[in-house]
Amino acid sequence: MPLPEAPVANALDIPRLFARQQARSEVLRREPAEARAARLRRLGQWMTANRAAIQQALYADFRKPAEETDVTEIWAAQTELRHTLKHLRQWMRPRRVGTPLALLGTTSWVQVESKGVCLIIAPWNYPFYLAVDPLISALAAGNCCIIKPSEMTPQVSALLARMAREVFDPAEVAVVEGDREVATELLSLPFNHTFFTGSPQVGKVVMRAAAEHLTSVTLELGGKSPVIVDETADLRDAAEKIVWGKSINAGQTCVAPDYVLVHERVQAALIGEIRAVVQRFYNADGRGVAASDSFARIVNGHHFQRLAGLLEDAQRQGAVVELGGSVDQSQCFIEPTVLSQVAPDSRLMQEEIFGPLLPVLSFGSLMQAADFVNQRPRPLALYVFSRSTAQQQYLLEHIPAGGACVNETILHLGHPELPFGGVGNSGLGKTHGRYGFLQFSNEKAVLRQRVGRTALKAFYPPYTPQVRKLIDWLLRYL
């Protein structure tokens, strides 16, 4: 049963809320680690107590299976929270740095401090996790936060608003619901940091708005993340991991495999293995993928029409449907679909797919595969399937990407010790673990000198010939 709709925040209240958080942020800035940890523990306890409500909200918004919600929304957030609690004191501790000979007598360190009031604009595809994950980093760093959930997932949006009311003082954490106008109102305010997850197109809008206030930004965007399968790969293993990575959340994942480049000698065999895996995962009982309880739906009619249009355009340009291809607008359902002979200039190969459509193209050499990827904007993720260490290394060295997996898909996103983020068109800034903590922190450089002493006193004016000689010596030897 859907959760009751929460009232949309009045944009006129937003400046007042922002002012309250500005005042409160000065208190949070000076809090010890234990106070921050207590706030995080309350958040973790709420997630545990409301597991069923989170599952229910995700199912109501786009029929996401409870098992996927547990793994990709709740477990992922809890993993980040537990890792943060374990390391928070260490991250907050000032970090001593060495002293160069020219500054002998000084002591220096890097001291982290909160940025202040932060804006988190969450997307619709993982609407709970991608709101809570950056919130964990922001709270660990000692900030106040306003979260703007996506209006495309209203049940999760309402749940997040309830979570904020039940766990936090609104002067510390608040959820503001609403549409594009509310987002525009929020972006007009001088936040100290903005964390946005979404498309590159909207990311540019966010960055332009942030520039008006010189607000720092983290942009978690997307792009066309390639899979490269060479002739040495274990095709059954590769097929299972590609299908899982592409089909979880019905392909609506920023790091989902967007297209496959496979060595021409094994293309047909790989497609055969993918066909078998889809049947095993989503049609084991023979009733069809649409009847499976393990496959989500497209979030709304607009995105369904976009994906159906991509499929139609590819077929008009000669693409062959190797498996799948069924669509049902009444359910916002699109079957896992593999296409071959896809035209490189088709919309399917030019736009981020963000759905269960998988183009499979062939290559003859690793250089050809790398060149194909590098002719396009840099991807958020790169997936390499190969038994050859040399060929793995070649692709990792020759293809810039935000992150990469070898003989796996997506799992790097769940590793709290790895930085997650894009490069160029796929994003700006890194998150997760200490990297996320630092995104919401200012690393203040501190140098302490002894009173009445300075190593550079000999270089003070007036600039006599003797001073110039000392400067020449400094440049040459120090």
- Residue 1: per-residue pLDDT: 37
Does residue 119 fall inside a structural domain?
yes
Q: Is the domain of 399 the same as that of 434? A: no
253 and 356 Cβ atoms separated by less than 8 Å: no
Q: Does any domain span residue 471?
A: no
Q: Are residues 249 and 349 in the same domain?
A: yes
Query: 91 and 55, same structural domain?
Result: yes
Pairing of strands 337-340, 193-197: unpaired
Asked, for residue 297, whether it belongs to a domain, the answer is: yes
The active-site residue out of 118, 144, 145, 254 is 254
Q: Is 288 part of a structural domain of the chain?
A: yes
Question: For the chain, how far is it from start to end, CA to CA, in angstroms?
Answer: 71
Does residue 233 share a domain with residue 214?
no
Q: Do 173 and 232 have their domain in common?
A: no
Residue 81, pLDDT above cutoff 80: yes
Of 272, 212, 287, give the one whose Cα is nearest residue 238. 272
pLDDT in tens, 381-408: 999 999 999 999 999 999 999 999 999 9
My answer on whether 335 and 364 are in the same domain is yes
Same structural domain, 161 and 62: yes
Residue 450 resides in a domain: no
Q: Residues 89, 238: one domain?
A: no
- 176 lies in the same domain as 236: no
Residues 179 and 266 placed together within one structural domain of the fold: no
Asked if 212 is an active-site residue, the reply is no
Bridge partner list, 385 = 229
Find the CATH number of the domain harbouring 353.
3.40.309.10
Does residue 82 contact residue 109 with C-beta atoms inside 8 Å? no
pLDDT of residue 452: 79
Whether residues 181 and 244 share a domain: the answer is no
Which residue is catalytic, options 177, 220, 240, 352? 220
In-domain check, residue 255: yes
Determine, yes or no, domain membership for 306. yes
Flag whether pLDDT at 7 surpasses 70.
Answer: no
What is the extent of the structural domain holding 396? Answer: 226-420
Sign of the CA dihedral running 160, 162, 167, 171: positive
Residues 258 and 217 in one domain: no
Span of 257-261, 334-338, 474-478 with lowest mean pLDDT:
474-478
Nearest Cα residue to 209 out of 183, 234, 228, 229:
183
- Please give the model's pTM, rounded to 2 decimal places: 0.94
Total number of domains constituting the chain:
2
337 forms beta bridges with: 357
Mean pLDDT over each residue of the chain, to the nearest integer: 95
What average pLDDT does this structure show over 447-474? 87
Instruction: With CA atoms as reference, report the closest residue to 196 among 118, 306, 115.
Output: 118
Check which CATH number belongs to the domain holding 124 and give it: 3.40.605.10
Q: Hey, what amino acid is at 102?
A: A
Specify the pLDDT at position 4.
38
Q: How far is CA 102 from CA 269, 451, 455, 461, 473, in A?
A: 65, 17, 7, 18, 11
Does the annotation count 144 as an active-site position?
A: no
Q: Is residue 473 a part of any domain in this protein?
A: no
Element holding 358 (H helix, E strand):
strand 357-363
Share of the chain above pLDDT 70, in %: 97
Please name which of 296, 361, 286, 302 lies closest in space to residue 334, comparing C-alpha atoms. Answer: 296
Which residues does 38 contact at the CB level (< 8 Å), separation at least 6? none
